[in-house]
Structure 1
Amino acid sequence: MIRSLLMLPLLLLLAACQSTQVQRDFDPQRDFSAYRTWSWQEPALQYRPDDPRIKSDLTEQRIRSAVSEQLDQRGLRQAQGANSADVLIQAWFIVDERSQQYTSASMGAWGSPWHGFWGGPMYTDTRTIHYQVGTLQIDFYDADDGKLIWRGSAEQVLRDNPGSPQERAGMFRETITKVLSQYPPH
C-alpha cells in the first residue's frame, strides 16, 4: 500500500511530461507581413535518427499535409514553383531516448504515541524509467537570401503505442497546429 502511494507522485510527474512544450525563435528585423507564398525546401522533412522505424513516407505525408493546412489558414499560399515562393519551409522529426531515475524510501516504525516509537529498517527503491521524446521542428527560410527567419518546435513524450493511422495523423495535426499558432510573430 505504501509503495503504491509513493508511486503516485511519479505517475503525476510523468503525466505532466505528456504535455507539449512549444518553443519559437525568429528574426525581429523581418517584415513577416511581406511573406505571402511558400514552398518546400527539399528535403522537406528530415529525420534524426535516420531509422526506418521512424522514417516513413506515411509520416512525411501526414506532416506535409498538416503543415500545408496550417499555412493556408494563416494566409500563406503554396507557390507553384520554388522560384516564386517568398519563404521555404523545412521540417524535422527528431526522436531522442531519455531516462530518469526515481528513488522512494520508506521506514517502518512500531510503538504508540504514549510510549514512543521504535525505528524499523529503512527500505529504498530506485527505478529507472526509459522513454522517447519526439521533437517536431518547423523552419522558415527567406527564399531570397536563404536565411532562417522563423523556427518553431514542439517536444512531447511519445507513447509506446502510437495508435491507428487516424490517431497518428491527428497527433501530427495537433502538434503542428500548436507550433504554427505562434506564426507570424506579433
Structure 2
Amino acid sequence: MTKSHRILRWLLAVCAIALLAGCATGPTIRTDYDPEADFSRYRTWAFYQPIAMEETGYTTFLTDRIKANVRREMDARGYRYDEKSPDLRVNFQGIVREKTDVWSVPRTDFQYFYSYRRRAYFAVPFWYDETQVSQYREGTLTVDLVDSARNRLVWTGDAIGRVTRKPPEERAQDVDRAISEIYLRFPYRAGSNEPVVPAKKQ
C-alpha cells in the first residue's frame, strides 16, 4: 500500500469518528465476543501497535480523546497498563458509509369525473403508496480487545449511528459518551471470568 493510500485511509477513518461524534441521535451499540476466551487470564493491557486509526503515524485530538477514555474504562475495571507484556491489547477504528433508506408513505388523492346525468363533477378518492428515499452517512466507531499472546480478537464493541456535523467541543463530548456506552456492554473485570452482567451477542 502506497503512502498516499495510507493517508487517504487515515483521513477517512478520522472523518468517520468526527461524523459519528456528531450523531443526531444516540448511537446503537453492538458487541460480540469469543466464547472460548478465558477472561480470567487477563490482568494487564496496552494499546495495539499500530492503532488502526494511526497507521500513518498521525494523531488527532479525537484519537487522543479516545485513548484517554479507553484508559479510564480499563482502569475502572482493574486492568493495569503494561506496555511491555500486556495480556490484552486495545485497538480502535472508525469508518463511514453512505447509506440509503427506502420506505413507502400512504397517500390519498382524488380523481374528478363529470356526471352528465347530474350535470356536475364529483370526486372519487383513491389510495396509493408513495416511495420515499433518504441518503445519509452512517459512522461506526469500533473498540477491539485482542489476546496479546495469540493475537486473537476476544471482544469487540461498535457504536453505530447517523451522523451530522457539530463543533469540535460537542464532538469530543459525544466520543466520550460513545466509548462509555461501548464499555457498559463489556462485562468482565481484571482476572475474572465471571461477567458482571451477562455477556450476549447483539
Q: Same fold (TM over 0.5)?
A: yes
CA RMSD after TM alignment: 2.8
Pair 1:172-2:179 in alignment:
no
What corresponds to 2:36 in structure 1? 29
* Equivalent residues of 1:37, 1:85 under 8 A apart: yes
CA distance in 1: counterparts of 2:48 and 2:62, whole angstroms: 17
Paired amino acid for 2:85? S
Pair 1:142-2:147 in alignment:
yes
Further displaced range: 88-97 or 125-134: 125-134
What corresponds to 2:199 in structure 1? none
SS in 2 for 1:46: helix
CA distance in 1: counterparts of 2:149 and 2:59, whole angstroms: 31
What corresponds to 1:97 in structure 2? 98
SS in 1 for 2:89: strand
* Equivalent residues of 1:45, 1:60 under 8 A apart: no
Report the structure, 1 or 2, having the larger strand content: 1
What corresponds to 1:63 in structure 2? 66
TM-score normalised over the length of structure 1: 0.71
CA distance in 1: counterparts of 2:170 and 2:26, whole angstroms: 17
Instruction: Find 2:161's aligned residue among 150, 156, 162.
Output: 156
Pair 1:40-2:47 in alignment:
yes
Paired amino acid for 2:100? S
Once the two structures are superposed, what CA deviation does each residue of 1:106-140 show, in whole Å capped at 9, x if it has no partner? 22378xxxxxx831576865442111111111111
Cα–Cα, structure 1 residues 19 and 171, in superposed 2: closer, same or farther, change >3 Å? closer
Once the two structures are superposed, what CA deviation does each residue of 1:129-160 show, in whole Å capped at 9, x if it has no partner? 1111111111111111111111111211112x
Paired amino acid for 2:61? L
Question: How big is the shift at 1:75?
Answer: 1.6
CA distance in 2: counterparts of 1:130 and 1:184, whole angstroms: 36
Question: How big is the shift at 1:103?
Answer: 3.7
Question: How big is the shift at 1:37?
Answer: 1.4
TM-score normalised over the length of structure 2: 0.65
**Which structure exhibits the higher relative contact order, with contacts defined as CA atoms closer than 8 Å and separated by 6 or more residues?**
2
Pair 1:88-2:85 in alignment:
no
Paired amino acid for 1:24? T
Paired amino acid for 1:23? R
Number of residue pairs matched by the alignment: 154
What corresponds to 2:136 in structure 1? 131
Paired amino acid for 1:59? L
